[in-house]
Amino acid sequence: MIRNALVAMICLTVLDLTVTMRLHADTLSHPVLGPKLLCFKYSTFSLLSGERVTDFSGGLEGMSIQVVGDKGTFDISESEIFRQPKYTGHPVLQQNGTTAYRINGMEPHYDIYGRTSFSNDKDRLMIKLSGPSLRGTATDKNIIRRFEIRDPSSAPCQQTFTYSFF
């Protein structure tokens, strides 16, 4: 009984540290300027000319960056442990094994799915895209189509943002 309580307390502590680490974004000393191919642990994103990455937050099981450009600001988050939702939302784009769904709410955002080395050949929620520049309209596709869930080790990465337990 005491052992189970101790294990539960350790798990909650690790979870709390993971969440705390993800919520703290650090302003980059030098913004990453586009055009560049950005690589994450399980995906890539094409940063356009005029866009820049200004903030990075990394944790044990995920990371996020903030992208600022002429058309506004948006946030990209990637994680291995996103809870897989029961309802995926409205599909808006499917290409190269990557599928994006619009999630309606107070502020529209997108969940992006694809297959990874650990997903047993099934699509898995890997990216959350949100931010004030997203309107829930067809113009958001210009951002979404620049994502690809893939093994970035074979991509010509020009900047890498990643996370790890170790």
Q: What are phi and psi of 83, to 5 degrees?
A: -70, 130
Note the pLDDT tens digit of each residue in 84-95.
Answer: 787 778 899 999
| pLDDT at res. 82 | 87
Tally of domains within the chain: 1
Domain, as residue range, for 99: 2-160
Position 4 confidence tier, pLDDT thresholds 50, 70, 90: very low
Q: Has residue 165 been placed in a domain?
A: no
Any idea what the CATH number is for the domain that residue 127 is in? 3.40.1000
Residue identified by tokens 């620049």 is 146
More confident residue, 62 or 87: 62
